[in-house]
Amino acid sequence: MIVPHRKPIRRNRNIGTAKSGYKKQSDFDIPIQNHKPFYENIDIEEQCQREINGQVFRFIVEKLNRGYIHVCGVDEICKVLSYCPREDLNGLALIILRQPKKKEEIFRSCWGRFIQEFYYQAERRPAIILEAVNIDNDIKMKTAGISPFFQKEIEKLRLEGHEIKQNNGIITIKKSMQSVKQTQLYRTLLHEVGHYVFSKRNSENTGYEEKETFANNYREEYKKYDSQ
């Protein structure tokens, strides 16, 4: 009789231990889909073209999730962009109204962003993205460790009509349709145009603070047109 060396009833010593992955969570981060940056994964619902200062812009509107809205309309965006010098807009022809995913709102939450190379129709081109928002979802953050930059940002949000409350070390920012429009349409949009103008005039190796300062100053230069 041949006795096998392997005993089927013998338990693997690693089962149920950290070595076998027990209690190890998968990475909680924005998933990679279709080998694209997360902002390029969009479910297009509508596309249209508008002419602004003699240049044709393409608008891409993404399908919305329940409870979300695109606060800025295409015609409103066109009106604000029409105040910018024609040479500043030259080469920028793609505006995207995008639906953020849940994890993106956790890790990369923003009102909008400028993308230097957005892949669209087999070409890479500069684009400005404005994110859809859920008015009922409050923004919350801890007061501990808030940088001077975010303190200034909170004050700007207050001036734009957002309701700011602070309780037990938590800052709560309550949004409204009008306050979000003030932020996205009359600040974020021009701020991102400022980033585009800066990218045309300067090296990519320029520091973050210099880029932000230029974009902020660009927006301030045209704030006289706010709400007209």
The domain in which residue 198 lies consists of 38-137+175-225
What do you get for the CA distance between the two ends of the chain, in Å? 96
Q: What is the β-pairing status of strands 123-131 and 94-98?
A: parallel
Q: What is the β-pairing status of strands 55-62 and 94-98?
A: parallel
Task: Assign 116 a pLDDT band (cuts: 50, 70, 90).
Answer: very high
Task: Assign 107 a pLDDT band (cuts: 50, 70, 90).
Answer: confident
pLDDT greater than 90 at residue 109: no
For residue 25, being part of any structural domain is answered with no
Number of domains forming the structure of the chain: 1
Higher pLDDT, 37 or 31: 37
For residue 165, being part of any structural domain is answered with no
pLDDT digits (tens, 9 = 90+) for 122-146: 889 999 999 999 999 998 888 887 8
Q: Give the dihedral of Cα atoms 13, 14, 17, 19; nearest 10 deg.
A: 150
Token pair for 189: 């949009």
For residue 127, being part of any structural domain is answered with yes
In which element (H, E) is residue 103 found? helix 102-107
Whether pTM > 0.85 for this model: the answer is no
- Nearest-5° angle of CA 73, CA 76, CA 81? 125
Mean pLDDT value across residues 193-205: 87
For residue 47, being part of any structural domain is answered with yes
Distances (CA, A) of 200 to 82, 108, 123: 19, 25, 18
For residue 26, being part of any structural domain is answered with no
pLDDT greater than 90 at residue 188: yes
Residue 23 has a pLDDT of 52
For residue 21, being part of any structural domain is answered with no
Distance CA 173, CA 165 (A): 7
Secondary structure of residue 182 in the 3-state scheme: helix
For residue 198, being part of any structural domain is answered with yes
For residue 12, being part of any structural domain is answered with no
- Look over the chain and give the mean of its residue pLDDT values, rounded to a whole number: 85
What's at 153, amino acid-wise?
E
Residue 12 has a pLDDT of 64
What's at 121, amino acid-wise?
Q
Q: DSSP assignment, residue 133?
A: B
Q: Tell me the CATH number at 111.
A: 3.40.390
The radius of gyration of the chain from alpha carbons, rounded to an integer in Å, stands at 23
Residue 36 has a pLDDT of 77
pLDDT digits (tens, 9 = 90+) for 152-183: 889 999 999 999 999 988 999 999 999 999 99
Percent of the chain with pLDDT over 70: 81
Count the neighbouring beta carbons within 10 Å of the beta carbon of residue 10: 7
pLDDT greater than 60 at residue 98: yes
